[in-house]
Amino acid sequence: MDVQTIGSFINGTWLNGEADIRITDPGDNSKMSSTYHYATDEQVHTAIQAASDAFPSWASTPTSVRASYIWKALEIWQTKLDDIATIVTKEMGKPLRESRSEATRAVDEIRYWAGEALHIEGRTFESSRKNVEAYSIRQPIGPIAAITPWNFPVLSPIRKVIPALICGCTVVLKPAIQAPGPSVILAQILEEVGIPKGVFNLILGPGRSIGDIITNHPSIAGITFTGSTQVGLTIYQAAAKRNAKVQLEMGGKNAVVVAGYSDLEFAANEIVGAAFTTCGQRCTSISRIIVTKEQQKDLEKELIRCVKSLKVGYGLNPDTNLGPLSSKEQFETVKKYLEIQKRDNLGRILVEGDLPEIDGYYIRPTIITDVQPGSVIAMEEIFGPVLVLIPVEDFEQALTVSNEVSYGLTAAIFTDNQDHAYHFTMQSETGMVHVNHGTSSECHVPFGGWKMSGQGAFGISDASKDFFTTTKSIYRMYQ
């Protein structure tokens, strides 16, 4: 994808805006990745009106016809995987191997939802009255706004836009301005396959001003958001005032418990992969290790080995497996927590990785051990390559510490004790639990969190239907 200035896609037309945003390559600050036009407030209102006007026709379009656009889009998407991966790496910094994996995984998720088109099912009920049939159907809720983050600039838009279109909703997509490139490519593809005007709209610009318009607009029936808990709760409060539907995927402070597990080499490999992929900038990243003291030292040795094997560098270098942080703002945030750890003597540095000799937003992959439960770095989401290790006496204490945070997205346990595995899966206050496994997800399994990590219907799988559709019950009497 060449560096060019691109605007928003509204009602089937590409429009220029009022100002430019220039995105600097986070892995090499001497390079500019791309430039975009900000949408004006008027253009945002136009996009919402276009989605509202297009909704009745799109909602009444047979699902097989809606799916045909998605199947055609999938064919084109598969020809652009290299372009998509490259712009992801240039805009938000993740290594090219991760960017390619994300673009390729989108193929499976698009295919899954195209196949769901004929499975938007209702239910039938046996009536208690003679000559009466009772059944329910699903209908699309209306125009929806999709607000997506920068850390998964491919999968997050795909997971919202594609199921929304299949379910019969029209869409206004607002991607994070730090990495909108994949959303632009998606818009170009949907334009190429002839999606009807107004069915899909892309608006580019800052989250605060555009988000306020979207959240408060009476024509937006639902808002699906992935991002920070603070922003998600603001959206939730605003949407509640007009009873708009919300689907919120928010932050996490995810724990892994290690208690009585024999293969610590395997556990360390899984933990480090889950902690440092995307430079720790995933809502599902493991950021806390809770380990029994009897296994602490042995696990630490394996963790040191794993971190020392990480190659930190520029994302387009083929041997890089840990890139930079996405932005100066994120870089400063992670530095702040490392300074707090040093100032307040919150544990000790177990291991730090190397830094590349390049001007970018790089932080050493760091593990801090002997961290106390309840401390700042054990409780707050850092969202970077920083992993804390908390020693505990036994499994019961480990479970308590795992649940002490305000978040509840995902958790994992490595143990040979099946009783411990069972109790952890049942008592963990999270939406997802992994046993002897990292925190990766699959496209057909519900994805979401409890507590301050989520609100509304789970996403990714067919659970998304619970957000994009609403139930209507029908009674029919015969003479």
What residues are annotated to the active site?
Answer: 249, 283
- Max Cα–Cα distance, the chain, nearest Å: 83
Q: How far apart are CA 326 and CA 158, in angstroms?
A: 20
94 DSSP assignment: -
8 DSSP assignment: E
Q: Are 155 and 106 in contact (CB under 8 A)?
A: yes
Q: How far apart are CA 409 and CA 430, in angstroms?
A: 5
Q: How far apart are CA 37 and CA 204, in angstroms?
A: 7
58 DSSP assignment: H
Side by side, the strands of the sheet bearing 366-369 are 348-352, 366-369, 386-392, 286-292, 254-258, 410-414, 432-435
15 exposure class (CB count in 10 Å sphere: 0-12, 13-18, 19+)? middle
Pairing relationship of beta strands 20-24 and 13-15 according to DSSP bridges: unpaired
| Short-list 254, 222, 153, 228, CA closest to 454 | 228
Helix, strand and coil content of the chain, in percent to the nearest 5, comes to 40, 25, 35
Helices (H) and strands (E) in the chain, counts: 15, 23
Q: How far apart are CA 103 and CA 107, in angstroms?
A: 7
Long-range CB contact pairs, 242-245, < 8 A, 24+: 242/216, 242/218, 244/215, 244/220, 245/141, 245/221, 245/456, 245/467
Q: Which two tokens stand for residue 283?
A: 């809502």
Q: Which two tokens stand for residue 95?
A: 């290594």
For residue 92, the one-letter residue type is M
Distances (CA, A) of 22 to 179, 194, 242, 439: 11, 30, 35, 34
